[in-house]
Amino acid sequence: MDWLVVFVGIIILIFGFVVFIGSPYVPSQKRYIKQVFQELYPLNSKDLLVDIGSGDGIVLREAARLGASAVGFEINPILVLISRLLSRNHKKIEVRFADFWLSNLPSATTVIYIFSVTRDMKRIIVKLQAETNRLGKPLSVISYGSKFDGLKINKNIGAYHLYILEPAR
Ligand SMILES: C[S@@+](CC[C@H](N)C(=O)[O-])C[C@H]1O[C@@H](n2cnc3c(N)ncnc32)[C@H](O)[C@@H]1O
């Protein structure tokens, strides 16, 4: 019985501590992701999508089904294991056990998916603009729910917003 309490306590701690460094785990809904990858940002096999905080990998798998490559950064080790297991049949998916704040985007990145809390949006756009400058090419950013203050929205579908970041000259 004691080991069960310890085990449940560890799981709660892992999921709980994430709240201090980013968004807690809430999965995106498959039917909306499908619509977004068709109508908001038509994804194809030339794309490399990066999900910042990839959870169970549902977004990565929808991207891979459309032929795109997909990389997820995930800080919760339990979700990393689950998403790797669920995505094991998709060769174009990579899940990195990493803190997004301390990571660089892959150089082939074309589009970034974010499902985060309003609190972190300012910090996220600073990080993504720095990465856009480093890569020296435009990047598309799909944000679910939260918006970036003062940044022009390229297109909307429901609670999904598409932004295009340009590298600074
Ligand atoms: C709202 S969930 C979104 C999950 C997934 N993107 C989706 O749409 O289904 C946010 C995820 O970000 C992860 N996360 C939070 N802070 C992070 C960080 N600094 N680096 C990497 N992942 C982080 C959480 O563990 C959680 O799984």
137-160 pLDDT, tens digit each: 999 999 999 999 999 999 999 999
116-131 pLDDT, tens digit each: 999 999 999 999 999 9
54 CB near ligand 1 (under 6 Å): yes
In 3D space, the residue among 105, 65, 58 whose CA is nearest the CA of residue 83 turns out to be: 58
27 CB near ligand 1 (under 6 Å): yes
Centre of ligand 1 from the C-alpha of residue 67, in Å: 23
Is residue 1 pLDDT above 70, yes or no? no
pLDDT average, residue stretch 99-124: 96
SS3 assignment, position 103: coil
Q: Where are the domains of the chain?
A: 2-165
Average pLDDT value over all residues in the chain: 94
| Ligand 1 atom at shortest distance from the alpha carbon of 116 | 1
Domain at 2-165, CATH class: alpha beta
Asked if 46 and 110 touch (Cβ cutoff 8 Å), the reply is yes
Top mutation candidate among 12, 15, 18 for ligand 1, by most atoms within 8 Å of CB: 18
Give the separation between CA 24 and CA 17, rounded to whole angstroms. Answer: 9
Percentage, residues of the chain above pLDDT 90: 85
pLDDT average, residue stretch 34-63: 98
pLDDT score, position 11: 80
pTM above the 0.75 mark? yes
User: What is the pLDDT confidence band of residue 13, given thresholds at 50, 70 and 90?
Assistant: confident
User: What is the pLDDT confidence band of residue 31, given thresholds at 50, 70 and 90?
Assistant: very high
Residue of 78 and 20 predicted with greater confidence: 78
SS3 assignment, position 74: strand
100 CB near ligand 1 (under 6 Å): yes
